[in-house]
Structure 1
Amino acid sequence: MFLVSRVLLKASLVTGMGDELGLIFKSGGQQQEPNSGPELVLSEDEKSDTEDKEEAELGVMEDQRSVILHLISQLKLGMDLTKVVLPTFILEKRSLLEMYADFMAHPDLLLAVTAGATPEERVICFVEYYLTAFHEGRKGALAKKPYNPIIGETFHCSWEVPRDRVKPKRTAPHSPPSQEHLIAEEPAESYKLRFVAEQVSHHPPISCFYCECKEKRLCINTHVWTKSKFMGMSVGVSMIGEGVLRLLEHGEEYVFTLPSAYARSILTIPWVELGGKVSINCAKTGYSATVIFHTKPFYGGKVHRVTAEVKHNPTNTIVCKVHGEWNGTLEFTYNNGETKVVDTTTLPVCPKKIRPLEKQGPMESRNLWREVTRYLRLGDIDAATEQKRRLEDKQRMEERKRENLRTPWQPKYFIQEGDGWVYFNPLWKAH
Structure 2
Amino acid sequence: MEKNAKIMDEAAEEAKAQRKAVVLTAPLALEGGLAAEHRPPNLLKQVLSLFRNVRPGSDLTRFQASLFETPFMISFAYELVLSSLFNMPKSQLQCYGETVYCCGEDYLQECARGKSSLERFTSVVAWSLSTTRPAIFGQAPFNPILGETHHVSKGSLNVLLEQVSHHPPVSALHATDSEHNLELIWCHSPIPRFQGTSIEATIKGKRQLRLLASGENYEMDSPNLSIKLLPPTGADWLGNVRIKCEESGLQADLCYYKSHVLLGFGGSCRSVKGTICHSKTLKTIYEIDGQWDRVIRLKDVRCGEVTVLYDAKKAISKLNTPILVAPQKVWPTESARVWGEVSRSILNKDWGKASEAKRRIEEEERKRRREREMNGGHVWVAKHFSVARTKDEGWECWPLEQLVPPAPIIVPP
Aligned 8 A contact 1:119 1:285 in 2: yes
Q: 1:313 to 1:320 in 2, by over 3 A?
A: same
SS of alignment partner, residue 297 of structure 2: strand
Q: 1:65 to 1:195 in 2, by over 3 A?
A: same
Aligned 8 A contact 1:158 1:354 in 2: no
Q: What is the count of residue pairs matched by the alignment? A: 349
* 1:201-216 matches, cutoff 5 A: 201-216=165-180
Which residue of 273, 278, 286 maps to 1:312?
278
Aligned 8 A contact 2:87 2:142 in 1: yes
Q: CA deviation at 1:350?
A: 6.0
Question: What residue is the counterpart of 2:305 in the other structure?
Answer: 338
1:109 equivalent to 2:107? Answer: yes
Q: 1:317 to 1:87 in 2, by over 3 A?
A: same
Q: CA deviation at 1:133?
A: 2.5
More RCO (CA 8 Å, sep 6+): 1
* 1:1-400 matches, cutoff 5 A: 51=26, 53-56=33-36, 61-62=41-42, 65-82=44-61, 83=63, 84=78, 85=80, 86-104=82-100, 105-106=102-103, 108-135=106-133, 143-160=138-155, 192-265=156-229, 271-295=234-258, 298-335=264-301, 336-341=303-308, 342-347=310-315, 351=320, 353-355=322-324, 358-359=327-328, 360-400=330-370
SS of alignment partner, residue 386 of structure 2: strand
Q: CA deviation at 1:159?
A: 0.9
Q: 1:283 to 1:337 in 2, by over 3 A?
A: same
Q: Deviations over 1:33-75 (max 9, x none)?
A: xxxxxxxxxxxxxx9x76475234686634x555434322111
Q: Which amino acid aligns with 1:314?
A: K
Aligned 8 A contact 1:89 1:381 in 2: yes
Aligned 8 A contact 1:68 1:267 in 2: no
Q: Distance in 1 between matches of 2:153 and 2:318?
A: 14
Question: What residue is the counterpart of 1:35 in the other structure?
Answer: none
Q: 1:155 to 1:277 in 2, by over 3 A?
A: same
Q: CA deviation at 1:353?
A: 4.1
Specify every segment of 5 or more residues in structure 1 that has no aligned partner in the other structure, as ranges: 1-27, 30-46, 161-191
Q: 1:123 to 1:337 in 2, by over 3 A?
A: same
SS of alignment partner, residue 385 of structure 1: helix
Mean CA deviation greater in 235-244 or 277-286:
235-244
Q: Distance in 2 between matches of 1:362 and 1:418?
A: 28
Aligned 8 A contact 1:357 1:366 in 2: no
Q: 1:50 to 1:145 in 2, by over 3 A?
A: closer
Q: Distance in 2 between matches of 1:65 and 1:310?
A: 40
With normalisation by structure 1, the TM-score equals 0.73
Q: CA deviation at 1:228?
A: 2.0
Q: CA deviation at 1:208?
A: 0.3
Q: CA deviation at 1:79?
A: 1.9
Q: Which amino acid aligns with 2:186?
A: T
Q: Distance in 1 between matches of 2:138 and 2:296?
A: 23
SS of alignment partner, residue 344 of structure 2: helix
SS of alignment partner, residue 280 of structure 1: strand
SS of alignment partner, residue 57 of structure 2: coil
Aligned 8 A contact 2:26 2:321 in 1: no
SS of alignment partner, residue 155 of structure 1: strand
Q: 1:417 to 1:236 in 2, by over 3 A?
A: closer
Q: CA deviation at 1:358?
A: 4.2
Question: What residue is the counterpart of 2:66 in the other structure?
Answer: none
With normalisation by structure 2, the TM-score equals 0.76
Q: Which amino acid aligns with 1:361?
A: W
Q: Extract structure 1 runs of 4+ deviating beyond 4 A.
A: 57-60, 265-268
SS of alignment partner, residue 55 of structure 1: helix
Give identity over the alignment, percent. 27
Q: Which amino acid aligns with 1:280?
A: I
Q: Distance in 2 between matches of 1:50 and 1:418?
A: 33
Across the aligned residues of Structure 1 and Structure 2, the Cα RMSD in angstroms comes to 2.9
Q: Distance in 2 between matches of 1:271 and 1:357?
A: 39
